[in-house]
Amino acid sequence: MDSKQLKWLLLAALALIWGSSFILIKRGLVGLTPFQVGSLRMLFAFSFLLIVGFRSLTQIPLGKWKYIALTAFTGTFVPAFLFAIAQSEIDSSISAILNSLTPLNALILGVTFFGLAFQRSQFIGVMVGLAGSLILILSGAAHNPDQDYFYALFVVVATFCYALNVNFIKKYLSDISPLAITTGNFVVMAVPALLILFSTGFFGQLQEVKVQHSVVFVGILGIIGTGIANMLYFKLIQMTSPVFAASSAYLFPVVAIFWGVLDGEVLSIVQVLGAIIILAGVYLSAKK
């Protein structure tokens, strides 16, 4: 398979895996707290990657470990908790739609800090995307008075973390295999994640059936939606560009809304409009 075909296959796989991660977070939150979901997600991924990628750690030069740590915390550690906290109050489909801001934010940060050139259409895209986000958040708050849409801002912050991460990997870690980067990331995060999990009293709750069910969903999220997906994502970044790799977020809402509707979530017409505006802004921001 040539590189052009492979990049689109990777993009589609990421859309399916990460688009499904929002409903898995929602299911995890049935019996777990946001901090338990976030820490367990990382520990499941760590356990899996230690088995398949331990030998790859020798590929990471000593001087690169600071960048491994940097990408670990911006790309996974902080967002894992932010998304879980956000979805304790807002629907999974809304979370997925707002996650589409990632490529737009990758452009903003790329221009601001990484010397990326931009065109007028891309600037317009940024403004349109921000307007769509505002519409989505405000209409969601009005349509769902039982939900606290302040928590949507946690998703927005997470997308900036993802955008930083994709630029860091492209600039500092392009010469290291995706498996080594991913495994190194979770080696760095394992101890902090375990300490957080211990602090929540998780191990005293394991006898509860709903906790056990939630752990299964988070296990799937950690192994497939985090460990395997990160390897595919880092490979895509190295093959293409930060903005193209981040554009996988365009497709997440399609998958996430499908799962959300099956789970009883409903989007208002104004929310759908906001989602379309966000995607239009992201499309414009990615044009060259």
Are 196 and 35 contacting, i.e. CB atoms less than 8 angstroms apart? Answer: yes
Asked if residue 197 has pLDDT above 60, the reply is yes
> CA torsion sign, 230 to 41 to 45 to 201?
positive
Q: What pLDDT digit, counting tens, does each position of 100-151 carry?
A: 777 777 777 777 776 666 677 767 776 777 777 777 767 766 777 777 888 9
Q: Is 135 left (phi over 0), alpha (psi -120 to 50) or beta?
A: alpha
User: What token pair was written down for 217?
Assistant: 């969903």
Tokens 């394991």 belong to 206
DSSP state of 226: I
Q: What pLDDT digit, counting tens, does each position of 47-64 carry?
A: 999 998 899 999 999 999
The pLDDT of residue 68 is: 96
Asked if residue 282 has pLDDT above 90, the reply is no
Residues 237, 67: Cα–Cα separation, whole Å = 15
CA 137 to chain centre: 19
pLDDT above 70 covers what percent of the chain? Answer: 89
Asked if residue 271 has pLDDT above 60, the reply is yes
Q: What pLDDT digit, counting tens, does each position of 200-243 carry?
A: 999 999 999 999 999 999 999 999 998 898 888 888 877 777 66
User: What token pair was written down for 84?
Assistant: 């879980």
Asked if residue 159 has pLDDT above 60, the reply is yes
The whole-number average pLDDT for the span 189-208 is: 95
Asked if residue 288 has pLDDT above 60, the reply is no
Residue 115 vs residues 112, 127, 169: alpha-carbon distances, Å: 7, 20, 15
